[in-house]
Amino acid sequence: MNDKKSREKAVPRSRLGRLSRVARMAGGVAAGMLGEGARQLSQGNKPKVSDLVLTPSNARRVAKQLSTMRGAAMKVGQLLSMETSDFLPPELAEILAQLRDRAFIMPRAQLEATLEQEYGEGWLDHFKNFDYNPLAAASIGQVHRATTLDGDEIVLKIQYPGVAESIDSDVDNIATLLRVTNLLPKHMDITDLLKDAKAQLHEEANYLQEAQHLEAFYEQLADSQHYVIPQYYPDFCTKTILAMEFVPGQPIEALDDIDPSDVDQLMRSLFELMFKELFELGLMQTDANFANYQYQRDSRKIVLLDFGATRSFTPEFTADYKRLLQAVTADDENAIIDAADRLGYKASSASQSYQDFLVELMRVALEPLAKPGIYDFKESKLSERLAELTDDVYGYKEFWQTPPTDILYLHRKVGGMFMLATRLGARVNAHSLLEPYLD
């Protein structure tokens, strides 16, 4: 079987069909538990239930079924791997991490049926050429290259059938599965995370809204010397298909052979964009998935892709977050607590030890922005230090709550930028780029 065929899985459209996948997943986990239990007993061991559930084979079963279902089911796995990986058992965290980069693709028959439903019979006559092999596949859609009758090279982002309608039920079903099978630690409350997942998926599944975001960023950055924004093609857009200009580029995380100074400049440009989004535009593309950025070697420009997770920030939120950055930069503990209160952390009513913990967490989490001078992301060991701090979160269960939604979105972008800079080994004076906004 060739690689393409092995990646093809039809997307289950009906609610019953998607629920049956969850039931199959649960049955597979149970069967895996029985098999592992028998093996352990035959060796004279007395395994705990948690040991039987959290096996690599069971985690692999879950990851495969989430990949098959796509949509909200896959997004829950992605969010768990990105947002809570420090708290998950390593067996589950490792397997779920694969969901960030892998998705099955629709078989050709299902793809053609989807295109016919959106464009009508004879849909292929609208194009000079259409490539049935997707350029990329993600949680809610896959991307195909095409050529218009006018000769324009475009890409079509085609949403998987049934994904938008199944978001809420998928998230609820997967959450129930993870709970009843004990695949998540009992002390982990993911209620707010799942609520956030539903909201994010509904926004990402609205391709007409994403088209508006794409146009907004194109208007702001079309003349930039650092970024390339694909042009929007409204004649080929529908509620579940987004058409835009094909812009060539190289995956940004694969830039192992370019000059370190170019890497530093690349990340400098991305930090500049992040600050511009927050403080000038009030509009931020909050999904810092590496696949959303590509690099053009000749022009040294960054291609920006996927505006589905774009979020608007109010002037009040931006001002309050600016206060937090000013407080962390000044290393003013009282000001950090006050700014955290304004942002919704309710820190001042907590114990002194929790306040001390929160101050230290903010210091470390925002260190690359607050620390003057060149910051070496690779040598800073930032993620390891944050992981050590988050181990202490559960000592403050009575005070700790999932951060407000705007903070979750913003910190996902900030954390993604830090991860990319670390991956590339960049050295950037991000504080000097931030400083003008703090005055």
Q: Is 66 exposed, middle or buried (0-12, 13-18, 19+ CB in 10 A)?
A: buried
Instruction: Indicate if the pLDDT at residue 15 is higher than 60.
Output: no
Output the pLDDT for position 188.
58
At 277-298, the pLDDT tens digits run 999 999 999 887 788 899 998 8
Supply 289's token pair.
């998935």
* Ordered structural domains, the chain, with CATH: 3-104+166-193 (no CATH), 107-159+206-247 (3.30.200.20), 251-439 (no CATH)
Bridge partner residues of 250 (DSSP): 295
Q: How many CB atoms lie within 10 A of CB 306?
A: 22
At 338-377, the pLDDT tens digits run 998 898 887 888 888 888 888 998 999 999 999 999 999 9
Polymer length in residues for the chain: 439
Mean pLDDT across 243-254: 89
Bridge partner residues of 158 (DSSP): 142, 241
At 92-130, the pLDDT tens digits run 555 555 555 455 678 899 999 999 999 999 999 999 999
CA torsion angle 415 421 427 430 (round to 10): -40
Q: Which residue has the higher pLDDT, 17 or 363?
A: 363
Mean pLDDT across 420-427: 90
Instruction: Indicate if the pLDDT at residue 250 is higher than 60.
Output: yes
Residue in the structure block whose two tokens are 């979750």: 408
222 Cβ neighbours under 8 A, 6+ residues apart: 229
Helix or strand run (H / E) with residue 167: helix 167-180
- Enzyme catalytic residues: 287
At 169-191, the pLDDT tens digits run 777 776 776 666 555 556 556 67
At 380-400, the pLDDT tens digits run 988 888 877 766 665 555 555
Q: Which residue has the higher pLDDT, 265 or 170?
A: 265
